[in-house]
Structure 1
């Protein structure tokens, strides 16, 4: 009899737990998962990690959301957001006028700027745009982000190589298939600190200054305001 009562209690508790999980509103979060140290998808487990992931996860926990991460890419990020694949996009996203037209932006979550990333020991060869923008210099960038836009806008003579994702440029540099990558100082400094063999050139003097933000779908005004209010109280 006691066993039956205990079993009944366990079943009821399990039911209540399931109802509680089901009652949590789902927060769909899009991220490319290829931008250390802000967002990274573990290739073995499929789980996400990084500073941006930690921030949105803490927000979700504090506000009672259950996160569902959605994989996206830099070329498709804005389309996926406007198509409703997710409510918010996070992880290394720069604030730009074009993005502001199509989405709602959070308050800045980080500040950074474009710098040159090269093989360690070669920083002295690429200390200025003039030295980089030479016919013999190979510059590699990932397609679809602000790195590519910066290179296209600033380079007239260098060889520009565009690759599909944000990890391939590092391999190109290490294998001497390219000489320079323009990326954000936050990523360049992280790679240098990880003893990757790649080093930032003047990371404290970037060519540009930009804010990293989270992007919310246009119809997610309440969510944007909730996040901004929460973020303001953390600072």
Structure 2
């Protein structure tokens, strides 16, 4: 017995989704060519990723690993092309993406209204939020924003992303230190050079496991609600519909859960 691929007919589903937006055939005919066509012609899906955000994206030995790396490969396979990863960093992410260095950006990217002004987002694939992480002995000291925002607290943060924006918006008295390496930043806390970091709750859970002595603080009740999605070209409804449909199928078939559990549990 032959089992049909869950991605068979994906293009038909995309057309149905676009039609559901209420656009006429004439309007679609006049619309610019979708990036999806460019990707297919090129034979490769170019994916911007920072490579410094475990468990979503981590540069390692000349390649990448993580949840969004495997999902990027899955998306490329659904399109019928290969995945090519393009290095970026958080401070350059939006300029690199809107400047045409890649077709999509993946790797634990928080959905924000500022980013939405310059690009589309896929449907959110993960509910997340900002949570603190500190030395385990200090957990009781940093339960709330008010607990953290004191003159004697040393908050460390990586530059250019939503972590820095959250810290600057919420901590007016604490000492804020910018640390450029998002991979080794956690070791600064262990070494006693900083007291706390605020990051995505899922990331604090992972760092707690791999760095004994660090404890995530209330990661299931984060300080701020958040969602994660993939950056897509602004105005390209065809490509967005394709990515959203692929993501829906990846979750419905269990592929998403299998990949997630590979890197989180």
SS of match in other structure, 1:192: helix
Aligned to 2:87: 71
Q: Give how far 1:225 is off.
A: 1.6
1:27 aligns with 2:45: yes
Q: Give how far 1:220 is off.
A: 4.3
1:164 aligns with 2:180: yes
Q: Which of 121, 130, 141 is the matching residue for 1:105?
A: 121
- Tell me if structure 2 keeps the 8 A contact 1:24–1:66: no
TM-score by length of 1: 0.86
Q: Which of 55, 78, 84 is the matching residue for 1:37?
A: 55
SS of match in other structure, 2:238: helix
Counterparts of residues 126-145 of structure 1 (less than 5 Å)? 126-145=142-161
1:216 aligns with 2:220: no
Aligned to 1:12: none
Aligned to 2:6: none
1:178 aligns with 2:194: yes
TM-score by length of 2: 0.76
| Structure-2 separation of matches of 1:62 and 1:30 | 18
| Structure-1 separation of matches of 2:45 and 2:95 | 18
| Structure-2 separation of matches of 1:147 and 1:168 | 15
- Tell me if structure 1 keeps the 8 A contact 2:136–2:215: yes
- Tell me if structure 2 keeps the 8 A contact 1:84–1:217: no
- Tell me if structure 1 keeps the 8 A contact 2:44–2:76: no
Q: Give how far 1:199 is off.
A: 1.1
Q: Give how far 1:124 is off.
A: 1.0
| Structure-1 separation of matches of 2:41 and 2:173 | 57
Gaps of 5+ in 1: 1-21
Deviations 1:111-165 (A, max 9, x none): 1111111012221121122221111110000100111000100111100001223
- Tell me if structure 1 keeps the 8 A contact 2:49–2:107: yes
Aligned to 2:171: 155
- Tell me if structure 2 keeps the 8 A contact 1:30–1:71: yes
Between structure 1 and structure 2, the one with the greater Rg is 1
